[in-house]
Amino acid sequence: MNLKIKLATAFLSVAGLSAVPAHAKVIDQGELGFTVAHTAQVAATPEDVWKMLRMPQQWWSKDHSWSGDAANFWLDSQAGGCFCEKLPDTGTGVGSVQHARILFARPNQLLRLSGAFGPLQGEALTGTLTIQIKATPTGSALRFDYVVGGYMRFKVGEIAPAVDKVIGEQLLGLTNALGGALPPSREEKAAAEAGETPASEATDSAEPDEDPTDEPGADEPGLGDVAADLARDDQVVAPD
């Protein structure tokens, strides 16, 4: 099947998206890969967010499944565990698909998966999805970062925006499963307009008694570090 046809089929639903979580953006792009980031806030506690993350059948879109039924998803949230999907027996036996495997799991804080989703699975790519959770006065702040790199037969300038929308759809599904995304606060709106990071979000994500250098991913941007930048432009695609 033509790669462009495969891409259009796999990402068919994204063109009709009417809303995405608070901020979304292709934040980096080059010849060998790209990075997309999405953020949102919910009223749910980090504990409730973690519970929901472990049940992808409740929030990952069936439109981005191989079986067409989200009930076939499951996730083992331990390192080495599988985010997988059952393929029902259509006469040749029961099948299965590994969407990603778990690299890092810290309950209520961070889940990192390695997997090239959808049509990217057929390419020589590495895809890393990092899901961060941070407690806020009103619930939890969420951030999805998906980093893709390696050799592929797609043009980066065409695939990156499509993947960006797909990842945004999954965060939207998660926030909806948790009761819906919260609107940005006045402080966040003001910071976005001024191109600044709200003081309430500028704190270190490490625990006070922990050495940040011992924390895998501690050198990653905090949840608020690029929120203002993301808010200024929902999607920026660098030249191919």
* Domain contains 36: yes
Q: pTM score > 0.85 for this model? A: no
Length of the chain as a residue count: 240
Residue 92, domain member (yes or no): yes
Q: What pLDDT is stored for residue 191 in this prediction?
A: 65
pLDDT of residue 116: 96
What's the pLDDT at 25? 76
User: By residue range, what is the domain housing residue 136?
Assistant: 3-7+21-232
- Rounded to whole angstroms, how far apart are CA atoms 180 and 173? 9
For residue 24, the model assigns a pLDDT of: 64
Give the total number of structural domains in the chain: 1
- Closest C-alpha to 132, from 168, 107, 160: 107
Residue 218 resides in a domain = yes
The answer to whether residue 237 sits within a structural domain is no
* 239 in any annotated domain: no
pLDDT of residue 194: 72
Report if residue 132 sits inside a domain.
yes
- State the CB neighbour count (10 A cutoff) for residue 151: 9
Distances (CA, A) of 16 to 160, 167, 234: 17, 14, 16
pLDDT of 239: 35
Write down the H helix ranges in the chain: 3-10, 46-53, 156-177, 186-194, 227-232
Q: Is 155 exposed, middle or buried (0-12, 13-18, 19+ CB in 10 A)?
A: exposed
Q: Provide the CATH number for the domain around residue 26.
A: 3.30.530.20
The answer to whether residue 29 sits within a structural domain is yes
Per-residue pLDDT of the chain in tens (240 residues, 90 and over written 9): 344 434 433 443 333 333 445 556 788 888 899 999 999 999 999 999 999 999 999 999 999 899 999 999 999 999 999 999 999 998 999 999 999 999 999 999 999 999 999 999 999 999 999 999 999 999 999 999 999 999 999 999 999 999 999 999 999 999 999 999 998 777 767 766 776 544 434 333 333 333 333 344 444 444 444 444 444 444 333 333
Q: 15 in a domain, yes or no? A: no
